[in-house]
A and B are shown apart, each in its own frame.
Chain A
Amino acid sequence: NAGVTQTPKFQVLKTGQSMTLQCAQDMNHNSMYWYRQDPGMGLRLIYYSASEGTTDKGEVPNGYNVSRLNKREFSLRLESAAPSQTSVYFCASSENKGATYEQYFGPGTRLTVT
């Protein structure tokens, strides 16, 4: 039982390049989330998927797209990377059943855009 996994762990991109961050969970959770974390800014929600087949914008969606591929997998795509997207990206999942909204995080992806 690996929990939430993310690939890659590290990535360096040049401005304008594209890439997809992958996330998978093996806890049979309904909801999945993408956050970015910058120094002094805390965790900011980029996009989330409340259930398989749905996606919604979070606080900072500009420059990103997401795909909920199936119940296990939720990917984040940067179409044209910008230096402002240099950050640590975390994926999380949650059962979201009844009153249970605990989120469990993956190990993160450190992205640098030059």
Chain B
Amino acid sequence: QKEVEQNSGPLSVPEGAIASLNCTYSDRGSQSFFWYRQYSGKSPELIMSIYSNGDKEDGRFTAQLNKASQYVSLLIRDSQPSDSATYLCAVNPPSYKLIFGAGTRLAVHP
């Protein structure tokens, strides 16, 4: 079993819709959770961090964490073509490292 799992996609949504990206992790001791956005040919860019159960909102982005179910999600409201990218979920087990999922490719079409 992979430590951090994401659906590879592509997830295709129309402009203005809500995009929902999901991630599950295997280490129950994980404390911190992150979402990175990576445009083609560019480096990963941190867009959301979440540390406790529940929702965390930042502009059009909402991160959701459920530690009991070992599940993290990212919602993007009012999706724009500029949101088209690969979204990487990263989990911090009790160590100095992050464990990354392979990413979900999001395509927002006009």
Chain A residues within 8 Å of B, Cβ to Cβ: 31, 33, 40-43, 45, 48, 50, 58, 90, 94, 96, 99, 101-108
Contacts and interface: CB of A to CB of B under 8 A. Distances in A.
B102 A42 contact: yes
B98 interface: yes
A42 B97 contact: no
B49 A102 contact: yes
A90 B32 CA distance: 21
A45 B100 CA distance: 9
A40 B43 contact: no
Contacts of A96: 96
Interface residues of B, number: 21
A90 B44 contact: yes
Ordered nearest first, which 4 A-B pairs have the shortest CB separation?
A42-B102, A105-B43, A43-B100, A50-B96
Contacts of B90: 103
19 contacts: A42-B88, A42-B100, A43-B44, A43-B88, A50-B96, A90-B43, A90-B44, A94-B96, A99-B32, A102-B32, A102-B34, A103-B46, A103-B90, A103-B98, A105-B44, A106-B43, A107-B42, A107-B43, A108-B42
B31 interface: yes
Contacts of B102: 40-42
Contacts of B46: 102-104
Interface string B98-110: 1011110000000
Interface in B31-66: 31-32, 34, 42-46, 49, 51
